[in-house]
Structure 1
Amino acid sequence: MARFAGVFRAPARSSNLKGELALNLQKLRALHSVIVTGSVTGAATRLHLTQPAVSRSLSALEAELGFKLFNRLGGRLVPTPQGEAFSRECERILLDIDDLTRIGKEIRANRGGRLRIVAMPQLARSLLVPALAQFSKEFPSVSISLEVRERREVERWASGLRFDVGIVMLPTQFEMLTSHSFAELVPVAVLHPDHPLAANKTILPSDLIEDRFIALDRTTLLRQIVDGMYVQAGLAANIWVEVSSAFIACQMVGAGMGVSISDPFSAALLAERDVVVRPCKTSARLNYAFVYPRHSKKTAQAVRFSEIVRSTLENLMGRFEFVQGQTIR
């Protein structure tokens, strides 16, 4: 928060604190609203203010920060690089303030608190939904917030520390997070039920080099792991399609478009009806972990939810042969 000292400067007299804070929040809300709506007019409508009031707030904020927030191009307001970077931090601050308001209301209403979770989509669908159902039975008065983000977004979102527990695939790079690995799983081959290798118990990466391969895009950790499996074998997959979602890749396999190598959670969603899933014979592993804010005490709800997730994974492993006998910590 130190970088925003100019925006949230201490007032000269304590009696002015409320007015100063409201004024500075108005500047941040004006910036955020212009970013969201794309215009001063839209921001004014959103905030129930006049256009000159929004313009004055932006000008005052620019004066305090010492850099331009927007350039005007062809009649449009386009954020400068500095404005875009500042607006992301601004959004986090406003969300935190909104959270404080909500927390106060929950305390006043004697609610049982809130559990805030951030996780990747494949975990949310097959693992977290049943875990949350169990958690809600045990803690019926606790409200739940589940933020579902792709892995490359999860860490950046979690670094804002607006969560109690996150579930990610390691490694993680943020020092403000502490991680506890809870599962080490083998990547799985996903085949159409009519595939010649569908009856095999395990699949080597080399077994699939003649097939049209459905791969994740190169920015994903799973794609990097799969590429490493083929490099280690001295081979290259016959990549035919690239997608950003492992679940969509599995659906494409079910539609007869090719084969894929996936994480077990995405494959589990289709394993009983549309595709055949087999563990890969490889030394590669997918390491899943809980992450928590390093400098905050874990809440009792977060600890219990982590225990329920482990139990839910054990049940999942009992249902599907392709994850049996693998490591849960």
Structure 2
Amino acid sequence: MRITHRHLEAFRAVHLAGGFTKGAQLLGISQPSISRLVQQLQQAVGFTLFTRIDGRTVPTAEALALHQGVERSFHGLDEVMQHADNIRHHRVGSLRIVSMPALAHAFLPGVLARFMKERPGVVATLQIERTDALPHWITSQQFDIGFANLPVDKPGIQTELFDEAEGVCVMPAAHSLSAKKFIEPKDLRNVPFIHSGPNGRMQASIRHMFEDAGVHCDVQIETPLAAVACRLVEEGAGVTIVDPFTAHLYERQGLVARPFRPELKFNFGVLFPSYAARSTLVRQFMSAVSEERDRILGRAGAPRSRARGTAKPSSRKAVA
């Protein structure tokens, strides 16, 4: 006869309850039913499982040895059920994110850390790559989500505009320009300036803007990383223009940021592999990212993203 889980369940119940009647009550079945199951198990294993001593049901030595193996089996089953519960509530799985430096240095770590605190069984990856290298990682499905400057035009990628991200001028709180509501190129005449941007196009666009205004831009330092530029501002090396997400982090550390005019658009986008379904974990993370974006930019409840095959940048001057 084949031993089933029901046979082991009956044996375990009698052993734990100390009798057939109480064991049957534990399982919610009749006493004859549990007796029949235990009898069938005895026939299958070839030895007696319980005996009567002074009116009590007592497991035999063989039953005690068998019980150890049964408990291991039930413990394994409990682990399986717990794992299934974790999957059902999205507490396990993996989340693979690749991002351009601007968002990976200042914005994403905070969101990801808070997201992971509620999901201790999830394993996450946050890798930093240049925008021009990101499409390869997404189309090869080595990552679930990518953050890059738009436009990205490559088959196999679905893009969404995450935020146009208007540039801001970052300076020390005691700087004379901090009293202004917004900063224009003319305000930065002969002011030590730190050029930053994810690529040469950003720096070139800023230079053209100063040239169009007839203002000499006193570039002291150039760096491709907005976070490095803000650190240099902290050290008194000058002022810089960066995205609002990087600026937000350094405002918390004592710098101030003012809108820059005319507007500079970073055009941050989100990339997904076109031929892979987005998991619930991915959707939940994107919801958390969008909420944090709107909180930082003061746009709570104002959705900004739009899905498309390949996103187009804003019709205004795009510098990303």
- Settle same-fold status: TM greater than 0.5: yes
Whether the 8 Å CA contact 1:188–1:279 is kept in 2: the answer is yes
Whether the 8 Å CA contact 2:135–2:157 is kept in 1: the answer is no
Whether the 8 Å CA contact 1:185–1:327 is kept in 2: the answer is no
Aligned to 1:269: 249
- Structure of larger gyration radius: 2
Whether the 8 Å CA contact 2:245–2:296 is kept in 1: the answer is no
Asked whether 1:328 is paired with 2:308, we answer no
Residues in 2 aligned to 1:218 and 1:137: alpha-carbon distance in whole angstroms: 30
3-state SS in 1 of match to 2:281: helix
Residues in 1 aligned to 2:225 and 2:162: alpha-carbon distance in whole angstroms: 23
Aligned to 2:95: 115
Task: After TM superposition, list the pairs within 5 Å mapping 1:33-52 onto structure 2.
Answer: none
Aligned to 2:148: 168
Aligned to 1:302: 282
CA 1:302–1:231 in structure 2 vs 1: closer, same or farther (change >3 Å)? Answer: farther
Task: After TM superposition, list the pairs within 5 Å mapping 1:1-329 onto structure 2.
Answer: 112-216=92-196, 219-318=199-298, 328-329=304-305
CA shift digits 1:75-101 (9 cap, x unpaired)? xxxxxxxxxxxxxxxxxxxxxxxxxxx
**Aligned residue-pair number:** 217
Residues in 1 aligned to 2:167 and 2:153: alpha-carbon distance in whole angstroms: 22
CA 1:235–1:151 in structure 2 vs 1: closer, same or farther (change >3 Å)? Answer: farther
Residues in 2 aligned to 1:209 and 1:239: alpha-carbon distance in whole angstroms: 11
Whether the 8 Å CA contact 1:182–1:288 is kept in 2: the answer is yes
CA 1:317–1:217 in structure 2 vs 1: closer, same or farther (change >3 Å)? Answer: closer
3-state SS in 2 of match to 1:145: strand
3-state SS in 2 of match to 1:313: helix
Residues in 1 aligned to 2:303 and 2:202: alpha-carbon distance in whole angstroms: 18
Whether the 8 Å CA contact 2:291–2:300 is kept in 1: the answer is no
3-state SS in 2 of match to 1:174: coil
Length-normalised TM-score, structure 1: 0.58
Name the aligned partner's letter for residue 257 of structure 2.
V
CA 1:327–1:188 in structure 2 vs 1: closer, same or farther (change >3 Å)? Answer: farther
Residues in 2 aligned to 1:303 and 1:216: alpha-carbon distance in whole angstroms: 32
Tell me by how many angstroms 1:269 deviates: 2.0
Residues in 2 aligned to 1:276 and 1:288: alpha-carbon distance in whole angstroms: 22
Whether the 8 Å CA contact 2:197–2:226 is kept in 1: the answer is no
CA 1:240–1:218 in structure 2 vs 1: closer, same or farther (change >3 Å)? Answer: farther
Residues in 2 aligned to 1:262 and 1:271: alpha-carbon distance in whole angstroms: 12
3-state SS in 1 of match to 2:169: strand
Structure 2 gaps of 5+ residues are 1-82, 306-320
CA RMSD of aligned residues (A): 2.8
Tell me by how many angstroms 1:304 deviates: 1.5
Name the aligned partner's letter for residue 265 of structure 2.
R
Deviation larger for 305-314 or 135-144: 135-144
Length-normalised TM-score, structure 2: 0.60
Name the aligned partner's letter for residue 247 of structure 1.
A
CA 1:151–1:309 in structure 2 vs 1: closer, same or farther (change >3 Å)? Answer: same
Deviation larger for 203-212 or 167-176: 167-176
Tell me by how many angstroms 1:169 deviates: 2.0
Tell me by how many angstroms 1:124 deviates: 2.5
Tell me by how many angstroms 1:150 deviates: 3.4
3-state SS in 1 of match to 2:176: coil
Whether the 8 Å CA contact 2:192–2:218 is kept in 1: the answer is yes
3-state SS in 1 of match to 2:164: strand
Whether the 8 Å CA contact 2:137–2:143 is kept in 1: the answer is no
CA 1:162–1:220 in structure 2 vs 1: closer, same or farther (change >3 Å)? Answer: farther
Residues in 2 aligned to 1:234 and 1:173: alpha-carbon distance in whole angstroms: 35
3-state SS in 1 of match to 2:227: helix
